[in-house]
Amino acid sequence: MIISRTPVRVSFLGGGSDYPEYCRDHTGMTLCATIDKYSYITVNALSGFFDHSIRISYSRTELAKKLDEIQHPSVRECLRSMGIEKGIEVHYVGDLPARTGLGSSSSFTVGLLHALYAHKGRMVEKRRLAEEAVRVEREMIGERVGLQDQYACAFGGFLHLSFRRGMEAEVRHLTLAPQRVKAIQDRLLLFYTGLQRTAHEILGEQIEKTERGDVDRQLEALAALVPRGASILCESDDLSEFGALLHENWMLKRELSSAITNKTIDDCYEAARAAGALGGKLCGAGGGGFILLYVEPYNQEKVRRALRSLLEVQFSFETEGSTIIFYRP
C-alpha cells in the first residue's frame, strides 16, 4: 500500500496569465502558496481473485476490466500515462470539496501520479510531477487549464511562478522566516461561498478573449502585480500593501470574463470591504468556491460578522508539496 499527500493552494496574484494561450507569446506570472488541506491518494495492488482488474473509489466506486471503461478522466489517463492497465486499486479522500477554486483537481492528478510512481518503485522529481500533470490534464484529458496549480501542488510553499513559450515554467520559492509566515497568515481569512463549479465551465469566454488578444492589457497588468507582491511578502514593513494588491488583482480579474463573478460574490466582497477588509479575491477561475480576504487582526471579527452566512475555513501554510506518507509495496 502507498499513500500520497498533496496540498491544495491559495492563489494570490497573476491568475489568468498562466494559461498557455497567453504565455506562448507573453510572460505569465503568478504568486501562490500551498495550505494544509490535502488530497490523499491510496494505491494498492489488486489481486486476480476479482472479476474486475481495476477498482477506483472516490465519491463513487468504479469496477473496471480495462482502462477505457474508467469514467474518472484523471484516473484513466494517469494510469494510461504510467503504462498501468490492470491489477490496481485507487482510493481518494480529500479535506475539501472539489470544484472550489483551490486547485483540488491538479492536487488529485499530481498526488495520483506520485503514488503511481512509488507503486512502480520509482522516485520522481517535483518538476516532472508537475509537467506530467500538465500533460495529463491538457493533452490527454483535453482540459484547457492553467499551469499554476500543478506546479504549486507538486512543489509546495510560497511560490513565484513564471511561464514562457507556452508551457516553460520557472519556479522560485520565496524564503520567508517563520514569524513572517505567521504575520501573513494572521491577516488572511478564507470563506467558502457554497458555490461549486469546474474551471472549464467558467473559462470559455476568458480563453476566447485571450486567444484574440482582447485581454492582453489586463493579463499583462495581472502578471506585473506578482513581483510587487513577492517583494511585499519578503521585504515590506507594511503588509497592508499586500491587501491593496489583492484588491487591484480582483478588479483586473473581473474584466477577463463575465462568468468570473456574480451578484452573490459581489455582495459578499463588498460587505467584507465595508467591514474592514483591505482586499481579497476569489481563489481560482471564479464563479464560486473560496473567497480569500486580507484583514488586519483588529477588523477580523467585524468581517466575520458581515460574512456570518458563509463558512470560514481555518488554515495554515505548508511547505512540503506532494509527499509519500506511507510506503509498503
Other C-beta atoms closer than 10 Å to the C-beta of 103 total 29
Q: Quick one: pLDDT band at residue 201, thresholds 50, 70, 90? A: low
Locate cell 464563479: which residue? 287
For residue 221, give its domain range.
178-312
Q: Are 52 and 169 in a shared domain? A: yes
* pTM score of the predicted model: 0.96
Of 198, 60, 95, 100, nearest to 141 by C-alpha is: 198
Task: Supply the CATH number for residue 100's domain.
Answer: 3.30.230.10
Q: What percent of the chain has pLDDT over 70?
A: 98
Q: Are 208 and 86 in a shared domain? A: no
Q: Is residue 319 included in any domain, yes or no?
A: no
* 109 close to 135: Cβ distance less than 8 angstroms: no
- What confidence score (pLDDT) does residue 88 get? 97
Cα 38 to Cα 3: distance, rounded to the nearest angstrom = 12
> What's the pLDDT tens digit per position in 208-233?
899 999 999 999 999 999 999 999 99
Q: Is residue 48 included in any domain, yes or no?
A: yes
- What confidence score (pLDDT) does residue 197 get? 66
> What's the pLDDT tens digit per position in 70-128?
999 999 999 999 999 999 999 999 999 887 889 999 999 999 999 999 999 999 999 99
Q: Are 149 and 40 in a shared domain? A: yes
Q: Is residue 317 included in any domain, yes or no?
A: no
Task: Supply the CATH number for residue 304's domain.
Answer: 3.30.70.890
Q: Is residue 329 included in any domain, yes or no?
A: no
Computed over every residue of the chain, the mean pLDDT equals 94
Q: Are 152 and 206 in a shared domain? A: no
Q: What percent of the chain has pLDDT over 90?
A: 87
Q: Which of 175, 204, 232 is the last residue of a domain?
A: 175
168-173 vs 158-164, strand pairing mode: antiparallel
Cell of 272: 467584507
Task: Collapse the DSSP code of 258 into the 3-class scheme (helix H, G, I; strand E, B; otherwise coil) and give the result.
Answer: coil
